[in-house]
Amino acid sequence: MDDNLKQLQDYAKANHVPILLSDSVNFLYDIVASKKPKTILEIGTAIGYSGSIMLSAYKQSSLITIEKDEQSFNIAKSTFKNLGLTGRTKQILGDGYEEIIKLNADNQKFDFIFLDGPKGQYLKYYKVLLNMLTDGGCLLVDNVLFHGLVRSDIDVGHKKRAMITKLRRFLNEIENRQDLITTIHEIGDGIAEIYLK
Ligand SMILES: C[S@@+](CC[C@H](N)C(=O)[O-])C[C@H]1O[C@@H](n2cnc3c(N)ncnc32)[C@H](O)[C@@H]1O
């Protein structure tokens, strides 16, 4: 397992694929190992790195993971196959939002949801995803502090400004909703851990 994950890290580095930062890997592994979710949903498969970590943290879990990029989707397919995880994984190739709308319409529920897809769209995703949690289920959202920029006054330039503004709105909303228990972990790129009260 370690060798395979190391190979994935090397591939991601060489090909500029953004995957979980190492602190976040430990956090993700530990939270899945402690919560023991039977059903996991992930938005943003990339090459299957975080998905493999979650599946290895709790051996009785199964994963539905959504990715819009076909090349990444195919690499992830090999990843899950090489790690013997294909039987516990359902990969969906498509737009994350369209796919979660379909899963929600099918009344599919998950014990654990990992949102690691389009950063600028978290506000619209998380409302649907909250409805897809089982009782006590956890919604984990990565990159919420985006290199520390979300909580800083540094001017990020126009390219990133819109995304940072949207992430700020998202953080503000989840931290102020009275019906949620939200913890922002200053780990990796910032991780939000969210539960419905
Ligand atoms: C940060 S990477 C995910 C990393 C992965 N979770 C890991 O740690 O191994 C974000 C991924 O989300 C995918 N993505 C971006 N927008 C998406 C969308 N609208 N629907 C589905 N996937 C999307 C990207 O193609 C990319 O592979």
Structure confidence by residue, pLDDT tens digits, 12-70: 999 999 899 889 999 999 999 999 999 999 999 999 999 999 999 999 999 999 999 99
Burial 16-41 (b: 16+ CB within 10 A, else e): ebebbeeebbebbbebbeebebebbb
- Shortest-distance Cα residue to atom 13 of ligand 1: 44
Ligand 1, residue 117: give the atom nearest the CA.
Answer: 12
Both structure tokens of 109: 């529920």
**Ligand 1 centroid to residue 75 C-alpha, Å:** 13
Is residue 148 pLDDT above 90, yes or no? no
With beta carbons less than 8 A apart as the criterion, state whether 104 and 79 touch.
Answer: no
What residue ranges define each of the domains in the chain, with the CATH number in brackets?
Answer: 2-196 (3.40.50.150)
Q: Quote the DSSP letter at residue 47.
A: T
- Shortest-distance Cα residue to atom 16 of ligand 1: 118
44 Cβ closer than 6 Å to some ligand 1 atom: yes
Ligand 1, residue 8: give the atom nearest the CA.
Answer: 9
**Ligand 1 centroid to residue 121 C-alpha, Å:** 12
Is residue 157 pLDDT above 80, yes or no? no
Structure confidence by residue, pLDDT tens digits, 100-139: 999 999 999 999 999 999 999 999 999 999 999 999 999 9
**Ligand 1 centroid to residue 44 C-alpha, Å:** 3
